[in-house]
Amino acid sequence: MASGFFLLVLLALSASRPLASDPGQLQDFCVADRTSQVFVNGFACKDPKTALVVDFFFSGLHMAGNTSNKQGSSVTAVNVAQIAGLNTLGISLARVDYAPHGQNPPHIHPRASEILTVLEGSLYVGFVTSNPENELFSKVLNKGDVFVFRQGLIHFQFNYGTSKAIAIAALSSKNPGVITIANTVFGSNPSISDDILTKAFQVDKKMVDHIQAQF
């Protein structure tokens, strides 16, 4: 009898697990208090009575980002760092600008899935599944097309056209985070040992040193 009771409790707990990336709402809003000394998973709430309209507002997505860089792309993020009122809501946005032949290089979002909509131009996009299959799912997107990248999977976008491209990405976290694979592996501080990288990538030390120098 007791074992049956505990089984029901475990089932209830497993069924009640939150499905969203961020906590559910217990009040109208929880504007992030970036000055709080309280350490929580995210940001503490400031007093709702002190909330201002600016806490729920951002202006700038109409402006193109600077794509004059090695990757030929620019990401304009709109997350809890830009809009304090996004705290606990589990959503954020980003505008991505691509120069001709520019790319948003292979990366992951550790805390969010992403849905990308092309506003202008064409993009070759894709993601790779986890080990051991490592299957590539890729497609060319045109204006108005939408593509989904699951949380934690390596994905990319490449503008193969001769004109600029623009996309808007919606993400399922107030703070999705980003880990760019090349920067992380070859630009870590301190550097990952050459012995590890040469064995992992099956190249010699000279090649590893050359790649690390780019970051």
**Binding site for oxalate: residue ranges?**
104, 109, 114
42: left (phi over 0), alpha (psi -120 to 50) or beta: left
CA distances from 70 to 43, 160, 165 (A): 34, 15, 16
Query: Using CA atoms, how far apart are residues 90 and 31, in angstroms rounded to an integer?
Result: 13
Provide the 3-class DSSP secondary structure of residue 123: strand
Contacts of 133 (CB under 8 A, 6+ apart): none
**Binding site for Mn(2+): residue ranges?**
107, 109, 114, 155
Query: Using CA atoms, how far apart are residues 208 and 212, in angstroms rounded to an integer?
Result: 6
Question: Are residues 139 and 196 in contact, defined by beta-carbon separation less than 8 angstroms?
Answer: no
Say how many Å lie between the first and final Cα of the chain, rounded: 62
**Would you give the DSSP letter of residue 145?**
-
**Binding site: residue ranges?**
104, 107, 109, 114, 155
Instruction: Write out 65-117 in H/E/C secondary structure.
Output: CCCCCCCCEEEEEECCCCCHHHCCCCCEEEEEEECCCCEEEEEECCCCCEEEE
